[in-house]
C-alpha cells in the first residue's frame, strides 16, 4: 500500500472516483452496499492519490490520543448524566479519557465537526442521541475517527439502542388489555436529539392501536414536564377526555401527573398514566413505565468505541432489552362520567 500523503483528502478520492464522500467511506471500510466495480474504482483512486485507508487505522489501533469524545445535545436531562456515567466508567477501564461536548443543536454539531480535522484530538466519537446526517458522518470518516451511535440504530455504523417501537407497542397493549379504548399518546416535537426514538415510539403505539382496531390520538407538543402539563390540559378540556395517557417519556409523564394531581383527578382511578424511560424519579412517583438500561447503554457504547479504535471496519449493532414496569399509575378504566364527577 502506498505511503500516507498528508495532502490527499477523502474528498480528493471522491472527486477522482466520481462518487460521494459516503461511498468512499463505505468502500474503503469494506462496508456492504457498495457495488464491486465502484469499490474497485474507489480503491484505485485512493491508491493513485496515495490516500491511505490505514492512515486512519494506523493511528487508531494504538489509540493515538487516548481520548474519546462524547457529543451530547444537552447535559441537563437525566438521561445524559446516566449515560455519561456508564460511558466514563467503561472508558476509564480501557485507560481512555472522556471529552464531553455539549453541542446543543445541529449548528453545534457542525461547529464541532468543522474544527475536528484541525484538532484530531480523539480516537473515536460517541454520538449520544444525536441524528447525524450522511455528510456529517463523512466528516468523521475523513478525519479517520470511528463513530458509535447511542440510542439509535444507524445502518452500517456501530450503534447501541433499544427497540423503541416494540417496547411502545407492548406498553400500549398493556393499556388495551386493561380495558382502555381511549388512549392518548403525548409526543414531544422539540426534543432535540431524540427524534429517532420519538418517532419509533409513536410508531409502536400506532401499530398496537391499529391491531386493536382503536383510533389513535397523538398529541404533539413541547418536551419535558411542561409539555406534559400542557398536553394534559388540552386532553382534560376535550368533550370526551381519554381514560389513559401514554407519554413519550417519564419527563413528559411527570407533567401529566402534576396536572392530574392539582385537578384532584385520581391516578389510576380516573386516569391511567404510562411513561417511558424509568427516570430516577419514576419509582418515587409510582409511575408505570418502560425501563431502558441507560447506564448499560453507555457502557456498551464505550466498549464499541474501544473496539472501533482497534477495528474501524467492524460496525456491530447491539440491541438492549427493555422491561415494562407496571406500577401504581395504570389500572383498568372506570366509567367516563367519573372524570366529570371528580375524585370521589
Q: 36-55: b or e for each residue (b if 16 or more CB lie within 10 Å)?
A: eebbebbbebbeebbbbbeb
Are the CB atoms for 68 and 98 separated by under 8 Å? yes
Nearer to a second copy, 70 or 304 (CB): 70
Nearer to a second copy, 140 or 285 (CB): 285
Instruction: With CB under 8 A as the rule, give the number of residues binding a second copy.
Output: 32
Nearer to a second copy, 75 or 313 (CB): 75
Distance of alpha carbon 319 from the chain centroid: 12
98-127 residues near a second copy, rule: CB under 8 A: 98-102, 121
Classify 222 as helix, strand or coil. Answer: coil
335 lines the binding site for a second copy (CB under 8 A): no
Nearer to a second copy, 67 or 206 (CB): 67
Q: How far is the CB of 221 from a second copy (least distance, A)?
A: 16
Tell me the CB-side half-sphere exposure of residue 203, using CA atoms within 13 A: 10
Q: Cell numbers 419509582 correspond to what residue?
A: 283
Q: How far is the CB of 84 from a second copy (least distance, A)?
A: 5
Q: Give the contact letters, 70-99, x = binds to a second copy (CB under 8 A), - = no.
A: ----xxxxx-xxx-xx--xx--x----xxx
Nearer to a second copy, 78 or 338 (CB): 78
Q: How far is the CB of 277 from a second copy (least distance, A)?
A: 14
Q: Give how far Cα 159 sits from Cα of 22, 27, 123, 208, 344, Å.
A: 18, 19, 16, 26, 50
Q: Give the contact letters, 276-295, x = binds to a second copy (CB under 8 A), - = no.
A: ----xx--xx----------
Q: Give the contact letters, 249-268, x = binds to a second copy (CB under 8 A), - = no.
A: -----xx--x--x-------
Nearer to a second copy, 127 or 229 (CB): 229
Q: How far is the CB of 223 from a second copy (least distance, A)?
A: 12
| Binding segment toward a second copy, per CB under 8 A, in 38-46, 69-77, 179-187, 209-217 | 69-77
Nearer to a second copy, 22 or 292 (CB): 292
Q: 201-224: b or e for each residue (b if 16 or more CB lie within 10 Å)?
A: bbebbbbbbeebebeebebebbbb
202/165 Cα distance (integer angstroms) = 7
219/235 Cα distance (integer angstroms) = 9
| Residues sharing a CB contact under 8 Å with residue 330, sequence separation 6 or more, in sequence order | 174, 175, 178, 244, 268, 272, 273, 274, 288
Burial class from Cβ neighbours inside 10 Å (0-12, 13-18, 19+) for residue 288 reads: buried
195-224 residues near a second copy, rule: CB under 8 A: none
Are the CB atoms for 259 and 225 separated by under 8 Å? no
Site for a second copy, rule CB under 8 A = 66-67, 74-78, 80-82, 84-85, 88-89, 92, 97-102, 121, 225, 229, 254-255, 258, 261, 280-281, 284-285
Amino acid at each position: 500500500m502506498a505511503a500516507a500523503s498528508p495532502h490527499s483528502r477523502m474528498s480528493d478520492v471522491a472527486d477522482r472516483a466520481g462518487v460521494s464522500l459516503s461511498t468512499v467511506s463505505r468502500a474503503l471500510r469494506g462496508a456492504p452496499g457498495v457495488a464491486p466495480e465502484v469499490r474497485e474504482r474507489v480503491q484505485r483512486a485512493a491508491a493513485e492519490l496515495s490516500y491511505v485507508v490505514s492512515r486512519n487505522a494506523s493511528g487508531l489501533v494504538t489509540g493515538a490520543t487516548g481520548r474519546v469524545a462524547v457529543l451530547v445535545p444537552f447535559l441537563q436531562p437525566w438521561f445524559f448524566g446516566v449515560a455519561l456515567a456508564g460511558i466514563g466508567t467503561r472508558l476509564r477501564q480501557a485507560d481512555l479519557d472522556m471529552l464531553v461536548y455539549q453541542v446543543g443543536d445541529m449548528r453545534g454539531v457542525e461547529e464541532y465537526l468543522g474544527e475536528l480535522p484541525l484538532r484530531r484530538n480523539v480516537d473515536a466519537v460517541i454520538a449520544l442521541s444525536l441524528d447525524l446526517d450522511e455528510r456529517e458522518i463523512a466528516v468523521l470518516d475523513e478525519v479517520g475517527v470511528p463513530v458509535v451511535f447511542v440510542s439509535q440504530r444507524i445502518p452500517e455504523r456501530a450503534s447501541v439502542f433499544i427497540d423503541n417501537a416494540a417496547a411502545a407497542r407492548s406498553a400500549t397493549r398493556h393499556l388495551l388489555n386493561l380495558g382502555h379504548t381511549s388512549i392518548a399518546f403525548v409526543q414531544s416535537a422539540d426534543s432535540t436529539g431524540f427524534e429517532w426514538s420519538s418517532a419509533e415510539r409513536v410508531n409502536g403505539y400506532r401499530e398496537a392501536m391499529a391491531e386493536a382496531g382503536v383510533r389513535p390520538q397523538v398529541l404533539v407538543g413541547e418536551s419535558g414536564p411542561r409539555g406534559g402539563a400542557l398536553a394534559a390540559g388540552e386532553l382534560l378540556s376535550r368533550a370526551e377526555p381519554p381514560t389513559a395517557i401514554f407519554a413519550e417519556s417519564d419527563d413528559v409523564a411527570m407533567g401529566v401527573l402534576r396536572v392530574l394531581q392539582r385537578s384532584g383527578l385520581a391516578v389510576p382511578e380516573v386516569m391511567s398514566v404510562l411513561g417511558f424511560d424509568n427516570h430516577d424519579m419514576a419509582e418515587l412517583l409510582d409511575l408505570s413505565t418502560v425501563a431502558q438500561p441507560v447506564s448499560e447503554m453507555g457502557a456498551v457504547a464505550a466498549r464499541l468505541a474501544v473496539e472501533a479504535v482497534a477495528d474501524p471496519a467492524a460496525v456491530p449493532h447491539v440491541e438492549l432489552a427493555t422491561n415494562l414496569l407496571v406500577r401504581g399509575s395504570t389500572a383498568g378504566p372506570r366509567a367516563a362520567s367519573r372524570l366529570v364527577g371528580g375524585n370521589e
